[in-house]
Amino acid sequence: MSSHNTVSFSEARRVAVFGGTHGNEMSGVTLVNLWVKNGAEIQRKGVETKPFITNPKAVEKCSRYVDTDLNRAFTPENLSAPGGDDLPYEVQRAQEINRLFGPKGSPEAYDVIFDLHNTTSNMGCTLILESSKDHFNLQMMNYIKKAIAPASCPVLLNEHPLLKYSTSRSVAKHPVGLEVGPQPQGVLRSNIFEAMRVILKHALDFIELFNEGMEFPPCTVDVFRVSERVDYPRDANGNIIAMVHPNLQDCDWEPLNPGDPMFQTFDGKTIHYEGAGTVYPTFINEAAYYEKQQAFVTTRRETLVASAIRKA
């Protein structure tokens, strides 16, 4: 461990909790609606925590999105696009959210945004990190992991130049994704709902402690860094011709070695993983990713070092 310097951050005074970025991911929709009615649970001393439904039309339809995926919509092009009402619904929403909680990249942006998601994949409680150099977020994730031990919450780092995408939460200085599964779209499972609630509670506790002046010493955080997207085998017409193999199904975060079964064709043949080395797949068989040409994403394990942090 070699961080010599303590990194200072200003107090995290403005925090938002986003639900319904995908309208059929029910834990976040339900929690945020609850907290909009009565937000006592998410308030902390010195912090203004705002619960917010990002995609109300999609929530009303109980669909992932109306025109386009909101969680891919926060690109610079979209955020500055003219056209007002003619723009796709989610692009309009992105601009509105950027006005309310950003502008993205500016000093006025919210300090922290938690974006609540569910997945049909067996990912447990996953924390999603967008930058390996965000020491504040790394310390938060270390705090959460320790708080819920021996239960675990894997940290997914998506810093891949091509696969990284422009999320709702990216408007904030410190974006944090909470991805909890497995849960079918449109379904509310009480165990998944409670798990997400607990993770968020610890995250807010961390912010409160930080704001009160607690110094967090240097630490390491084990992460899974996104490496590669793997699509389903398809025929010439783009139709899927194989399913995630029963040996791989539900095995998020477990090692996939060269030669291991990966897909099973509809007539029962096995297709093996032929990568160069061991990878750790995740987002295995996520419903929403069939149309994004992704059966799973591979990751590699890495240990990140977080500097000590304290408030400025």
Sheet of 261-265: strand order equals 242-244, 261-265, 270-272
Could you confirm whether 179 is annotated as catalytic? yes
Please, which residue, 147 or 271, has the CB nearer to another protein? 271
Amino acid at 177: G
Min dist. Cβ of residue 123 to another protein (A): 13
Catalytic entry in 90, 130, 179, 286 = 179
User: Bridge-partner residues for 308, per DSSP?
Assistant: 6
Candidates 116, 140, 221, 244: give the one binding another protein (CB under 8 A): 244
Answer yes or no whether residue 80 interacts with another protein by CB under 8 A: no
- 65 assigned ligand-binding residue: no
Min dist. Cβ of residue 195 to another protein (A): 11
Q: Which of residues 12-51 bind another protein (CB under 8 A)?
A: 30, 33-34
Answer yes or no whether residue 310 interacts with another protein by CB under 8 A: no
Answer yes or no whether residue 255 interacts with another protein by CB under 8 A: no
Min dist. Cβ of residue 20 to another protein (A): 13
Answer yes or no whether residue 267 interacts with another protein by CB under 8 A: yes
In angstroms, rounded to a whole number, what is the distance separating the alpha carbons of residues 223 and 135? 13
User: Bridge-partner residues for 282, per DSSP?
Assistant: 297
Please, which residue, 150 or 268, has the CB nearer to another protein? 268
Candidates 83, 103, 105, 184: give the one binding another protein (CB under 8 A): 184
Q: What is the SS3 assignment for the chain?
A: CCCCCEEEECCCCEEEEEECCCCCCHHHHHHHHHHHHCCHHHCECCEEEEEEECCHHHHHHCCCCCCCCHHHCCCHHHHCCCCHHHCCHHHHHHHHHHHHHCCCCCCCCCCEEEEEEECCCCCEEEEEECCCCCHHHHHHHHHHHHHHCCCCCCEEECCCCCCCCCCHHHHCCEEEEEEEECCCCCCCCHHHHHHHHHHHHHHHHHHHHHHCCCCECCEEEEEEEEEEEECCCECCCCCECEEECCCCCCCCCCCECCCCEEEEECCCCEEECCCCCCEEEECCCCHHHCCCCCCEEEEEEEEEEECEEEEC
Candidates 191, 238, 276, 303: give the one binding another protein (CB under 8 A): 191
Q: Which stretch binds another protein (CB under 8 A): 78-86, 235-243, 275-283, 300-308?
A: 235-243
Q: Which stretch binds another protein (CB under 8 A): 107-115, 131-139, 155-163, 236-244?
A: 236-244
Q: Which stretch binds another protein (CB under 8 A): 156-164, 169-177, 206-214, 283-291?
A: 283-291
Q: Which of residues 120-179 bind another protein (CB under 8 A)?
A: 120
Please, which residue, 214 or 287, has the CB nearer to another protein? 287
Candidates 83, 105, 186, 258: give the one binding another protein (CB under 8 A): 186
Binding residues for another protein, rule: CB under 8 A, are 30, 33-34, 62-63, 120, 182-191, 193-194, 239-240, 243-246, 249, 264, 266-268, 285, 287-288, 290-291
Tell me which residues are annotated as active site.
179
Binding annotation for N-acetyl-L-aspartate: 64, 179, 289
